[in-house]
């Protein structure tokens, strides 16, 4: 079952605004300012390609729940967690970096000391389905 990431409006505005602004500034500098070859290459990398990469990561963040694994996709990155290694799941609003586009997150503890934060659109449904599929899980609210 595929769950798209919830996206907070303030975060979407921040990401889109900063990335599109950076791309615009980079393209303006490339086309309207006299620059050396290396300056153009730096501008392309830092002001066009990097922001496009960040937008790609934001557009493609989702979570797949199969019968045996939780698969987290964000841009070119993929994290696979066996469901039988998940020990705990709880709602939280931790702002640390993670493959989540909302502060309404789910903390998933797995293996012995590993943790990931995700933000599916429907947290309650996701937790319910995950709890049904995981044998070692402890739910916390």
Rg (CA), the chain: 19
* Residue 139 reports pLDDT greater than 70: no
With contact defined as beta carbons under 8 Å apart, do 69 and 80 qualify? Answer: yes
Task: For residue 141, name the pLDDT band (cuts at 50, 70, 90).
Answer: low
Q: Which pLDDT belongs to residue 108?
A: 94
77-82 and 69-74: which strand pairing? antiparallel
The mean pLDDT value for 110-115 works out to 90
- Maximal C-alpha separation, the chain: 63
- Burial class of residue 70, CB neighbours in 10 A (0-12, 13-18, 19+): buried
**Residue position matching structure tokens 């998933």:** 108
Cα angle at 114 between 107 and 104, to 5 degrees? 15
Share of the chain above pLDDT 70, in %: 97
Coil vs helix vs strand at 6: coil
Average pLDDT, the chain: 88
Tell me, what's the pLDDT at 140?
Answer: 55
Contact 91, 105 (CB under 8 A): yes
Q: Which fold has domain 1-141?
A: PH-domain like (2.30.29)
* DSSP label of 84: G
pLDDT digits (tens, 9 = 90+) for 23-70: 888 888 888 887 788 888 888 888 888 888 888 888 899 999 999 999
Of the pLDDT bands very low, low, confident and very high (cuts 50, 70, 90), residue 6 is very high
Most confident of 33-42, 94-103, 111-120: 111-120
For 109-117, what is the mean pLDDT? 91
């Amino acid at each position: 079952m595929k769950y798209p990431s919830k996206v907070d409006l303030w975060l979407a505005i921040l990401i889109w605004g900063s990335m599109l602004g950076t791309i615009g500034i980079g393209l303006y500098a490339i086309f309207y300012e006299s620059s050396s070859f290396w300056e153009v290459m730096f501008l392309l990398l830092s002001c066009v390609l990097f922001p496009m990469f960040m937008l790609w990561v934001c557009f493609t963040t989702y979570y797949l729940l199969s019968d045996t694994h939780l698969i987290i996709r964000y841009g070119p990155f993929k994290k696979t967690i066996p469901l039988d290694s998940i020990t705990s799941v709880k709602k939280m609003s931790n702002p640390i970096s993670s493959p989540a586009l909302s502060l309404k997150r789910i903390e998933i503890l797995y293996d012995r000391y590993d943790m990931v934060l995700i933000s599916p659109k429907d947290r309650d449904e996701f937790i319910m389905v995950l709890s049904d599929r995981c044998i070692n899980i402890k739910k916390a609210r």
